[in-house]
Amino acid sequence: MRRMGNHPRGLIESLHTVQETFGYLDLDALRYVAASLRVPLSRAYGVATFYHFFSLRPPGEHTCVVCIGTACYIKGAPQLLHALKEELGVVPGQTTPDGKVSVLGARCLGSCGLAPAVVYDREVAGKVTAQALRDRVAKWKSHVS
Amino acid sequence: MSPEELEQIAETERERQAQFKHTIKVCVAAGCVSCQSEPVKAALEREVASRHCEGECQVKGVGCMGLCAQGPLVGVGNHTLYQGVAEGDAPAILDSLNTAAVDRLICPTDVPFFQMQKKIVLENSGNVDPERIEDYIAVGGYTALMQAFGEMTPAQVITEITRSGLRGRGGAGYPTGLKWSTVSKAVGEKKYVICNADEGDPGAFMDRSVLESDPHRVLEGMLIAAYAIGASEGYIYVRAEYPLAIKRLRTAIKQAERQGLLGANICGSRLSFYIDIRLGAGAFVCGEETALIHSIEGRRGIPQPRPPYPAQEGLYGEPTLINNVETFASVAPIVRNGGEWYAQIGTEKSKGTKVFALAGSIKNTGLVEVPMGTTLREMVFEIGGGLPEGHKFKAVQTGGPSGGCLPENFLDMPVDYENLLRAGSIMGSGGMIVMDDTSCMVDVARFFMDFCMSESCGKCVPCRVGTSHMHGLLTKITQCRGNAYDIAQLEELADLLKQTSLCGLGQSAPNPVLSTLRYFAEEYKAHVEQQQCPAGVCKNGHKDE
């Protein structure tokens, strides 16, 4: 924020920094950013909810991002989502009740050459099969941290 | 920096590279990184170190080599390319340096995929190390900038761009020279150059690849543009989903600043130009220029009616030039070789080359650059290697969610802006997705409408409500509960959206529906009349909800 001279135009950049540090944007953080940049809280909230990249809820311990871009879609992303729903009982945008795994959908990761692609905790995996996905999340689920 | 100093750096770097007998190039663009090219690079480096041959063999990370389907790719010298390399292959590759190549890993380069391409934008991809400015300078980088500064007036630069016939590579195909001259004539206290790297089209990854493989090329293009229009600040608006591209851009900007190629009084001239990065936050609509400007200003990315065009009143109300990554990447070679040279390539109205991202049901997925006017058949069946065994071509989708699906009888059509538009699709940013007989076209149309529905910013009613209605109708049809009236209503809504939406997103949202209705009407018919899906996709109700 200081880099941008606490100017309102630094709002999105500031929110990026907050999310990078804390994993999500909670109300306190939004209030703090809004006050420092002298923008109404409503505008900060509006921006935070407008962009898909910002999350207002804490992420699960692990995240699993399934690419649902066109190439992945026709190469079997729906089956992957189906597998996740069976395995974890959640659909994209949700976190399992125990807070272990968050499932997200992404509009194209740009790894179309490797479709269908999934990101497990920031690590991109290509040509994912439903079985491989099941195994991976099952490991997360059983893992006691 | 002066041209002599630049030449000095190039000379030193070329000498440094010439002392190595062997150069092993490992692709470190995102495609290969996600199939573990970094451990491969580390293994090769360890192997070189353990054999104490650091003096004659260098391992370097390079940008995308195109054939993403076969990654990780490793090149040795200029002629040998290995595919699907694993960490354990490092000793074998080093053993082979002085003898014959490793047969089991070899990737043939005499195939149409490599032979039919013409690389201008991607000429350095896969050759230079994207993290070293010296490497870029050694292959002639920044000489176009020196040439523009030293020998040309801003007006001459614009004339040269106009003569080249270069058109905006973001999709709409607006003549770049015209855009530049409009901004240069506009009056304002300050002018801005924005590079649009918010590559939101699902299925397109050209811009990401260019930024990851050759970031300095984009900076050079932006600098030349700044000189031509008299801008003092630039922004690169890049998707937060591309962390690697962001990292490389940051490095590139720092290096350029250190060399005096960015900052105050560049190369002793009166031009001062600063570039900063702005991160997108996952909103497709921000690819629209007015929405993008709002986003850079720290607000919601909502388009506004034009005029005023950004060329007159853009960022912070000042004249602003917005071009796509690929457009900027085409600038340096045009200045270096002249507009005439560029205009010789391509078709009558669409000049030069275009980078396409081949994906979907195709053997050689990856990145290709071809002259405009190449036919779809050449692209899919020769360069792309055709479809995987046992599958039959059904359609090729271009232009992302704003484009259309073209059936088999369009395969011999030369690809350029006009032809695609006439066929009911668009060039878009260059995504090209091949679909086979296992895809249901109604379902594909529903998929794109779902995308447009969730990406609609909600400002204008036709787009906000229209996309949602169309999605509802398409869902009904894919669940085999539709009737003939639903199709008629779809057509009516499509027309309404096209005519009355505020920005490109809404105006082009019906394209996938219209093109599938036009070319695959029998599939819609089967869904509503016989209540069945010919491709067998929709039988169990809805796929992903």
Contact criterion met (CB below 8 Å) for B112 and B366 = no
pLDDT digits (tens, 9 = 90+) for B250-293: 999 999 999 999 999 998 888 899 999 999 988 899 999 999 99
Q: Give the mean model confidence (pLDDT) for residues B177-205.
A: 93
B16/chain A closest Cα distance in angstroms: 34
CA pair distance A94, A104, nearest whole angstrom: 7
pLDDT digits (tens, 9 = 90+) for B294-343: 999 999 999 999 889 999 999 999 999 999 999 999 999 999 999 999 99
A11/B contact by beta carbon, under 8 A: yes
Provide the token pair at B16: 């440094």
Task: Mark yes or no for CB contact A70/B241 under 8 Å.
Answer: no
pLDDT digits (tens, 9 = 90+) for B232-244: 999 999 998 888 9
Question: Is the per-residue pLDDT at A133 higher than 70?
Answer: yes
B192-213 burial code (b ≥16 CB/10 A, e <16): bbbbbbbbbbbbbbbbbbbbbb
CA pair distance B65, B85, nearest whole angstrom: 14
Question: Is the per-residue pLDDT at A104 higher than 70?
Answer: yes
CA pair distance B415, B418, nearest whole angstrom: 8
Q: Give the mean model confidence (pLDDT) for residues B385-404.
A: 92
Interface probe with A: pick from B34, B459, B533, most Cβ of A within 10 Å: B34
Q: What is the ipTM of this complex?
A: 0.90
Question: Is the per-residue pLDDT at B118 higher than 70?
Answer: yes
Label residue B110 exposed, middle or buried (CB < 10 Å: 0-12, 13-18, 19+).
exposed
pLDDT digits (tens, 9 = 90+) for A5-31: 678 888 999 999 999 899 899 999 999
Look over chain B and give the mean of its residue pLDDT values, rounded to a whole number.
93
- pLDDT confidence of residue B542: 47
B208/A contact by beta carbon, under 8 A: yes
Provide the token pair at A118: 């999934």
**With a CB-CB cutoff of 8 Å, which residues 296-355 of chain B face chain A?**
296-301
Order of all β-strands in the sheet with B366-371: B366-371, B353-360, B431-436, B393-398, B404-406
Task: Mark yes or no for CB contact A51/B439 under 8 Å.
Answer: no
**With a CB-CB cutoff of 8 Å, which residues 18-57 of chain B face chain A?**
30-31, 33-35
Question: Is the per-residue pLDDT at B540 higher than 60?
Answer: no
Confidence at B505, pLDDT banded by 50, 70, 90:
very high
What amino acid is encoded at B127 in this protein? N
Query: Residue B511: which H helix or E strand, with range?
Result: helix B511-519
CA pair distance A33, A14, nearest whole angstrom: 7
Residue A103, φ and ψ in degrees, nearest 5: -110, 130
pLDDT digits (tens, 9 = 90+) for B445-502: 999 999 999 999 999 999 999 999 999 999 999 999 999 999 999 999 999 999 999 9
Task: Mark yes or no for CB contact A69/B543 under 8 Å.
Answer: no
pLDDT digits (tens, 9 = 90+) for B162-176: 999 999 998 888 999
- pLDDT confidence of residue A3: 62
Confidence at A98, pLDDT banded by 50, 70, 90:
confident
Task: Mark yes or no for CB contact A71/B282 under 8 Å.
Answer: no
Considering only alpha carbons, which residue of chain A is nearest residue B242?
A109
SS3 state of residue A103: strand
pLDDT digits (tens, 9 = 90+) for A46-95: 999 999 889 998 888 888 999 888 888 888 899 999 999 998 888 888 88
Considering only alpha carbons, which residue of chain A is nearest residue B454?
A52
- pLDDT confidence of residue B268: 80
B451/A contact by beta carbon, under 8 A: yes
CA pair distance A136, A118, nearest whole angstrom: 11
CA pair distance B176, B162, nearest whole angstrom: 7
A77/chain B closest Cα distance in angstroms: 9
- pLDDT confidence of residue B527: 94
Question: Is the per-residue pLDDT at A2 higher than 80?
Answer: no
Write the secondary structure of B360-411 as one string of H (helix), E (strand) and C (coil).
ECCCCCEEEEEECCCEHHHHHHHHCCCCCCCCCEEEEEECHHHCEEECHHHC
Q: What percentage of chain B reaches a pLDDT higher than 90?
A: 84
Q: Give the mean model confidence (pLDDT) for residues B6-10.
A: 95
